[in-house]
């Protein structure tokens, strides 16, 4: 199964349940993706942080996400990963407390196009 297919399954589960917890879904439990996100897995995030200060690691992670995430989240903000920028569907879903609205946002995230490698 591809990361894109797993992304669709994960967000379809969230669109049906209205849950605010990706970690509680069957898909994430079964595959344990980086950051509970199959787009992160697709971006190939694999960093050895053993000798790196956290601020260096986080800066490298943000740049890697901007360059390799298969989802276009729009204009990135310097201090966070692109999906977490204010106004993205993901940030709206993350901050939403209404299960009905979370379902709607999850369905939109599920259907976002992925860039080809």
> What pLDDT tens digit does each residue of the chain (117 aa) get?
999 999 999 999 999 999 999 999 999 999 998 889 999 888 876 555 557 777 777 677 777 788 889 999 987 777 788 898 889 999 999 999 999 999 999 999 999 999 876
- The conformational region for residue 34 under phi > 0 = left, psi -120 to 50 = alpha, else beta, is beta
Burial (0-12, 13-18, 19+ Cβ within 10 Å), 83:
buried
- pLDDT score at 30: 94
Residue 80, CA distances (Å) to 15, 33, 91 in order: 25, 19, 11
Cβ 90 vs Cβ 109: under 8 Å: yes
Residue 27: both structure tokens together: 């898909």
pTM for this structure?
Answer: 0.85
- pLDDT score at 38: 93
């Amino acid at each position: 199964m591809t990361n894109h297919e797993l992304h669709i399954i994960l967000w379809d589960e969230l669109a049906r349940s209205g849950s605010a917890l990706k970690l509680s879904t069957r898909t994430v439990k079964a595959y344990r993706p980086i950051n509970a996100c199959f787009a992160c897995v697709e971006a190939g995030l694999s960093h050895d942080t053993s000798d790196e200060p956290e601020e260096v690691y986080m800066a490298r992670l943000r740049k890697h996400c901007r360059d390799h995430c298969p989802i276009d989240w729009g204009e990135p903000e310097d201090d966070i990963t692109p999906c977490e920028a204010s106004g993205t569907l993901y940030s709206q879903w993350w901050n939403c407390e209404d299960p009905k609205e979370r379902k709607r946002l999850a369905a939109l995230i599920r259907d976002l196009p992925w860039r080809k490698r």
